[in-house]
């Protein structure tokens, strides 16, 4: 589903990704952990084509994302992305937030776009907020709104970039529950996360990023239970504190 | 100017018409300058937000136009235009300078609006598959406009008032008409009060409508 080979990415002089090789198969949930600045967000931006790459290849669903003849806008329709900041469109109601992209990007008739939007909002448990504005929602609700907005494009995979780290602790649970629900439904996902418990429980595999390379990747029991890399051991002991 | 052919030296009803007509000319040149200047300014604002190199060079040019007093720009342009082969009447010359002046201010306002929307919001829009123009049209425009609308209204009202300076080129707008009448009637206070009332009558609907719009948005 997602095949990354020999990926290099720099911002000007700063080399951030230094040779990433990674395959994510259909229906797999991969969590990405690692310390701040190790390049986790950058990886997601590259997969999504929001950042150009210097070397290597990213294939998503048989399309080479960074090939010059690739239409990034249509690639992105197959890939939902949820950011740390929920970025709800403040001038639109909850329902319109979700219906906007189906209407203008997928060019669906308005009624159909609204129908899809309503379905996805119920899916994430916001069925009773349709006509509210985002400013009337809690952070957790806005993050679920962002998830619904991405799902409304009926993506084949989802990328989560620390979807819960800007939330108050008591709101983290509801968002994780929503992501868990998607995992159970078989959505292919890459989740950058600081929630080790979540990574352990939901993921099929966990990748540990360190200074722009995948230092260790394994099933959660092994990766958390018997970390091989010294950096990972250090990282985990710091997180546990 | 037919009305002044009666050599009546007191202030007459005709003179009121004359001022009213001049107010319409003020309105006309301002509306043109504000609308054309705003469109140009928005594109300049977009250009400013594209890259640092553009922002620096273009920003410097805009700074020059913003720092040189409008009256000097008007006189300079009106006198230099013929040298480069442009034969312009006072209205045309004044309008061009006002448009440039408006665009420079609107460019900054527009850049502020784009910055208010922010990169993360725009990335979220693009991640949904929106192209550059859809992002601008459906996300940046509505959100940015709400953020900087009061600032834009301020620019528009400023241009309306500053358009009085075009009078020094000889274009008979509200201020010039008042001066003509003052010379003839010697009733400066009365005429300036009327002219002031006209300026107020032109500005008030803008502020009123703007406030209403802001109230509606903030709900
Ligand atoms: N647009 C940018 N321009 C220049 N440097 C950047 C840019 N975005 C990120 N960086 C740098 O790239 C490095 C990796 O950043 P990235 O955001 O991918 O890290 P991260 O692993 O997601 O960290 P965090 O856990 O803090 O989110 C950092 O050193 C960061 O400063
Ligand atoms: Mg990050």
Model ipTM value? 0.91
Q: Which residues of B touch A73 (CB under 8 A)?
A: 129-131
Torsion of CA B33, B39, B44, B47, to 10 degrees: 180
Please list, residue by residue across A108-136, b when 16 or more beta carbons sit within 10 angstroms of its beta carbon and e when fewer do.
Answer: beeeebbebbbebbebbbbeebbeebbee
Which residues are CB-neighbours of A77 under 8 A, at least 6 positions away?
A105, A106, A153, A155, B128, B129
Atom 2 in ligand 1: which residue has the minimum CA distance? A11
Is the distance from CB of B131 to CB of A73 less than 8 angstroms? yes
A54 phi and psi, to 5 degrees? -95, -30
Q: What was the pLDDT predicted at B13?
A: 87
Going by the DSSP 8-state scheme, the letter that residue A128 receives in this structure is T
CB contact under 8 A, B138 and A104: yes
User: Radius of gyration over alpha carbons of chain B, in Å?
Assistant: 21
pLDDT band at B192 (very low <50, low <70, confident <90, very high): very high
Residue A214 to residue A209: CA distance in whole angstroms: 5
Q: What was the pLDDT predicted at B12?
A: 86
Q: Which atom of ligand 1 is nearest to the CA of A45?
A: 18
CB contact under 8 A, B130 and A81: no
Q: What was the pLDDT predicted at B217?
A: 87
Residue A154 to residue A175: CA distance in whole angstroms: 19
| pLDDT > 70 fraction of chain B, expressed in percent and rounded | 96
Per-residue pLDDT tens, chain A, 241 aa: give them: 999 999 999 999 999 999 999 999 999 999 999 999 999 999 999 999 999 999 999 999 999 999 999 999 989 999 999 999 999 999 999 999 999 999 999 999 999 999 999 999 999 999 999 999 999 999 999 999 999 999 999 999 999 999 998 888 888 999 999 999 999 999 999 999 999 999 999 999 999 999 999 999 999 999 999 999 999 999 999 887 5
Any atom of ligand 1 within 6 Å of the Cβ of A16: yes
Enclosing domain of residue B201: 2-218
Percent of residues in chain A assigned helix, strand, coil, to nearest 5? 40, 25, 35
Q: Which atom of ligand 1 is nearest to the CA of A192?
A: 22
- Residue B85 contacts A, CB cutoff 8 Å: no
Question: Does B6 have pLDDT greater than 70?
Answer: no
Question: Does B5 have pLDDT greater than 80?
Answer: no
Is the distance from CB of B171 to CB of A119 less than 8 angstroms? no
Quote the minimal CA–CA distance from A62 to chain B in Å.
18
Beta strands A157-161 and A79-82: pairing type? parallel
Which residues in chain B belong to E strands, given as ranges? Answer: none
Atom 17 in ligand 1: which residue has the minimum CA distance? A41
**CATH code of the domain in which B17 resides:** 1.10.3720.10
CA-based nearest residue to B136, from B114, B105, B120, B153: B114
Residue A55 DSSP SS3: strand
Tokens describing residue B133: 């123009």
Q: How far is CA B49 from CA A85, A155, B58, B100, in A?
A: 22, 31, 11, 19
| Per-residue pLDDT reduced to its tens digit, B153-166 | 999 999 999 999 99
Reported pTM: 0.88
pLDDT band at B50 (very low <50, low <70, confident <90, very high): confident
Average pLDDT score over residue span B104-124: 95
State how far Cα B144 lies from the chain centre.
20
CB contact under 8 A, A91 and B130: no
How far does chain A reach from its first CA to its final CA, in angstroms? Answer: 36
Q: What was the pLDDT predicted at B1?
A: 46
Chain A nearest-CA residue for B120: A87
Is the distance from CB of A217 to CB of A205 less than 8 angstroms? yes
Tokens describing residue A199: 């990574």
- Count of domains forming chain B: 1
More confident residue, B219 or A70: A70
Q: How far is CA B35 from CA A210, B95, B106, B136, in A?
A: 54, 11, 10, 19
Ligand 2: centre distance to CA A121 (Å): 26
Any atom of ligand 1 within 6 Å of the Cβ of A40: yes
């Amino acid at each position: 589903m997602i095949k990354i080979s020999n990926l290099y990415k720099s911002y000007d002089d700063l080399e951030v990704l230094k040779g990433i090789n990674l395959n994510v198969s259909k229906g797999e949930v991969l969590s990405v952990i690692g310390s701040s600045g190790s390049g986790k967000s950058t990886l997601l931006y590259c997969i999504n084509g929001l950042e150009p790459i210097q070397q290597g290849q990213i294939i998503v669903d048989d399309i080479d994302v960074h090939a010059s003849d690739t239409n990034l806008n249509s690639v992105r329709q197959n890939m939902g992305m949820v950011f740390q900041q929920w970025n709800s469109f403040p001038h639109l109601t909850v329902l319109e937030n979700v219906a906007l992209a189906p209407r203008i990007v997928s060019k669906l008739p308005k009624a159909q776009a609204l129908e899809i939007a309503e379905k996805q909002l119920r899916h994430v448990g916001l069925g009773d907020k349709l006509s509210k504005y985002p400013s009337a929602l809690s952070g957790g609700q806005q993050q679920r709104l962002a998830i619904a907005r991405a799902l409304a494009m009926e993506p084949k995979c989802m990328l989560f970039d620390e979807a819960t780290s800007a939330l108050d602790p008591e709101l983290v649970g509801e968002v994780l529950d929503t992501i868990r629900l998607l995992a159970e439904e078989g959505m292919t996902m890459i989740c950058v996360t600081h929630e080790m418990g979540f990574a352990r429980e939901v993921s099929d595999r966990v990748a540990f990023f360190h200074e722009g390379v995948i230092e260790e990747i394994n099933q959660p029991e092994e990766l958390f239970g018997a970390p091989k890399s010294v950096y990972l051991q250090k990282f985990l002991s710091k997180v546990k504190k | 100017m037919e009305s002044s052919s009666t050599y009546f030296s007191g202030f007459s009803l005709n003179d009121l018409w004359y001022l009213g007509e001049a107010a319409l000319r003020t309105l006309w040149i301002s509306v043109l300058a504000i609308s054309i200047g705003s469109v140009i300014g928005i594109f300049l604002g977009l250009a400013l937000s594209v890259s640092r190199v553009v922002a620096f060079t273009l920003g410097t040019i805009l700074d020059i136009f913003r720092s040189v007093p409008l009256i000097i720009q008007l006189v300079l342009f009106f006198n230099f235009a013929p040298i480069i082969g442009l034969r312009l009447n006072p209205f045309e010359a004044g309008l061009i300078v006002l448009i440039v002046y408006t665009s420079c201010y609107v460019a900054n306002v527009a850049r502020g609006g784009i910055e208010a929307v922010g990169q993360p919001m725009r990335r979220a829009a693009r991640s949904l598959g929106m192209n550059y123009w859809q992002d601008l049209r459906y996300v940046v425009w509505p959100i940015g406009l709400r953020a900087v609308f009061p600032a834009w209204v301020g620019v528009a009202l400023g241009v309306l008032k500053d358009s009085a300076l075009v009078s020094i080129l000889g274009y008979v707008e509200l201020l010039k008409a008042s001066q003509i009448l003052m010379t003839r009637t010697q009733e400066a206070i009365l005429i300036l009060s009327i002219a002031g009332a006209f300026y107020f009558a032109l500005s008030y609907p803008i502020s009123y409508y703007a406030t209403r719009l802001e109230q509606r948005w903030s709900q």
